[in-house]
Amino acid sequence: NAGVTQTPKFRVLKTGQSMTLLCAQDMNHEYMYWYRQDPGMGLRLIHYSVGEGTTAKGEVPDGYNVSRLKKQNFLLGLESAAPSQTSVYFCASRPRTGQLNYGYTFGSGTRLTVV
């Protein structure tokens, strides 16, 4: 049982380049999330999905797009990378429950540097 797997683990991009971060979970979770973590800022929510085919904006969505074509995968895209998007990106998932009282399972992160 792998849990939440993020690829790649590290990436260096030049300003203006595009890339896609992949998150895959094998726990049959309904909800999936993308967060970014910057020094001294904690985690901030970029986008999230409450089920296959659905996505919604979080706190800091600008410059990012997402897709949830399959239940197990949640993709985060950067169309034109900027230095301000240098960060560590975390994907998380959790099951749908009646009382919404479940902890999240996190991936190990993708460290992205935009130069």
- Residues lying near other proteins in the complex (CB under 8 A) are found at 4, 31, 33, 35, 40-45, 48, 50, 56, 58-59, 90, 92, 99-109
Residue 28 pairs with which residues in a beta bridge?
Answer: none
Nearer to other proteins, 16 or 95 (CB): 95
Q: How are the residues of the chain apportioned to helix, strand and coil, as percentages rounded to the nearest 5?
A: 5, 50, 45
Residue 18 pairs with which residues in a beta bridge?
Answer: none
Nearer to other proteins, 17 or 73 (CB): 73
Nearer to other proteins, 4 or 24 (CB): 4
How near is the Cβ of 93 to other proteins at its closest, in Å?
12
In Å, the largest CA–CA distance within the chain is 44
